Amino acid sequence: MEGGLHMAIEKHDTTENTLVPVSEKYTLTIKEAASYFNIGTKKMRRLAEDNRGRFAVFSGNRYLIIRPQFEKFISASSEI
């Protein structure tokens, strides 16, 4: 019985160590990027769809925003 409890505690500890602040993540979900960059989620999704390969990648069934590349995109844009 103790072994099972011990494994659960170890599993919990490793999960806590993998939490990364959004500002340090390399890729962001649409929701994270929208919140971080103060852009609506619908607008963020549209930007991702229109710029796949530039700063957005499709992983499984969702878009991921490559944060450093999106920051460059915003800096170079006068309007989004």
Give the tens place of pLDDT for each residue, 60-77. 999 999 999 999 999 999
pLDDT in tens, 17-35: 678 999 999 999 999 999 9
In this prediction the pTM is: 0.74
Q: State the Cα–Cα distance between residues 8 and 13, nearest whole angstrom.
A: 9
DSSP conformational letter for 52: B
Residue 27 structure tokens: 């890729």
- Domains of the chain in start order, with CATH, are 22-80 (3.90.105.50)
What pLDDT does residue 60 have? 95
